[in-house]
Amino acid sequence: MNIGMILIWVAFTLCLGAGLTSLLHYFKGSGYLKTLSRRLEVGATGAVTIAVFLLSYYLFHVQTAYSYVYQHSSADLTWYYRLSALWAGQEGSFLLWGWFILVILLVLKYTMYKRQFSGTRLYELTVTISLFIASVFLLLLVLKNPFSMYHAVPSGTIELTNWNPFVTAFQAPYGQGMNPLLRNPWMAIHPPVLFIGYAAITIPFASAFAGLILDDNRWTEIATHWMRFSWLFLTLGIGLGGFWAYEVLGWGAWYWSWDPVETSSLIPWITSTAYLHTQIHSSNKIRNFAPALAIFSFVLVVFATFVTRSGIWASVHSWQDFTPTSFIVAIFLISLLGSSVVMLVNKYME
């Protein structure tokens, strides 16, 4: 039985259920729904955590019955490259990203922000929005499962299943291994650092959106701390990526080549820097830009993700052409952009 495939389905179901019950609690104020949502959220986090470690185990031991392992791991790779293969492909990076969001939500629950805002509609709505965002990433994994498995059919051919966890696995004799461009020590550091920054920026977006809905200016007390955290990891991730590019791609004396994907990751760093600037500026005119900067920082992160996965622009970072997964990301991006513009127009047109 393909336990990993089932874990992805369970995680998505629990996370979506947590978001829906949290939303119902927001409207009805039911203590039962609040408790149920928390339990579903913890269950989703647990399922994703097990899936992350299970996939890491398969990559380390080169279990090539799984297509993701076959494509990104091999016996000739050193141990840290096998583990780094977890974020070498699209499915693994989405799994890591969604996991980081859920872990950050748990951290948020048990920090001073929860105690300070415990029971407030602002906090509850921030968590609800974040859960729906995490559900989108888990939906992408349901559609393209990192535990998709090869199996033999009666005709003797080998096929790949994304939906049947009960097939008999077919173990390939060897794995293809990691892309040669990725076989670099920076591979073990740069992507996860960047994904932590991407995941953390979810909280400023969600709290800003909740603040606009509720007309509650306290959202900055949640957002600013997490924006600092995100900014730190985005800065480290972009810097480490520059060193990696300088070493591997041979860009001469420059660490930056204005590659489309590089540039799309730089833009949310600029907007998050601008947001932090608004929080130390005394002018109310400057501080009024804070909601837009917090919201568009996350929207631009999703845009950077779309650029990477869609293949619209030629880039050393692009993995593929436009696919159904790219289409889902595009819908997510358009939904975020549309709802954000509506909320911001309502605020600034008052």
| pLDDT tens sequence across 244-299 | 777 766 544 455 666 666 777 789 999 999 999 998 876 667 778 899 999 999 99
- DSSP, collapsed to helix, strand or coil, labels residue 316 as coil
DSSP H stretches of helix in the chain: 3-28, 31-60, 67-72, 79-84, 90-109, 112-117, 121-143, 190-200, 202-214, 219-248, 260-280, 284-287, 290-310, 324-348
Contacts of 282 (CB under 8 A, 6+ apart): none
pLDDT at res. 311: 53
- Given a cut of 70, is residue 2 above it in pLDDT? yes
Q: pLDDT over 70 for what percent of the chain?
A: 89
Contact 139, 131 (CB under 8 A): no
* One-letter amino acid for residue 46 of the chain: G
List Cβ neighbours of 34 (8 Å cut-off, separation of 6 or more).
Answer: 22, 25, 124
Residues 340/206, Cβ–Cβ less than 8 Å: no
Assigned token pair, 171: 């173990």
Separation CA 303–CA 290 (nearest Å):
20
Give yes or no for residue 187 having a pLDDT over 90: no
Please give the structure tokens belonging to residue 240. 């480490």
pLDDT in tens, 29-76: 778 899 999 999 999 999 999 999 999 999 999 999 999 999 999 998
| C-alpha–C-alpha distance, residues 85 and 73, integer Å | 6
- 0.85 exceeded by pTM: yes
Average pLDDT over residues 155-176: 88
Evaluate if residue 119 carries a pLDDT over 80.
Answer: no
For residue 325, what pLDDT is reported? 76
How many CB atoms are located within 10 Å of the residue 247 CB? Answer: 13
Tell me how far apart the alpha carbons of residues 264 and 7 are, in angstroms, rounded to a whole number. 32
Closest alpha carbon to 208 in 344, 348, 7: 344
Classified as helix, coil or strand, 174 is coil
pLDDT single digits (tens) 194-210: 999 999 999 999 999 99
Angle at CA of residue 234, ends 48 and 345, nearest 5°: 90
| Encoded tokens for 221 | 């007390």
> Within 10 A of 333 (CB to CB), how many other CB atoms are there?
16
Q: What is the pLDDT of residue 253?
A: 45
Helix orientation angle between 31-60 and 3-28, rounded to the nearest 10 degrees: 160
Cβ count within 10 A of residue 18: 28
In terms of average pLDDT, the best of 73-82, 130-139, 164-173, 232-241 is: 130-139
243 phi, psi to nearest 5 deg:
-65, -40
Among 338, 334, 1, 310, residue whose Cα is nearest residue 149: 1
The yes-or-no verdict on residue 156 having pLDDT over 50 is: yes
| 111 CB neighbour count, 10 Å cutoff | 13
**Which residues on adjacent β-strands are paired with residue 150?**
160
What value does the mean pLDDT of the chain take? 87
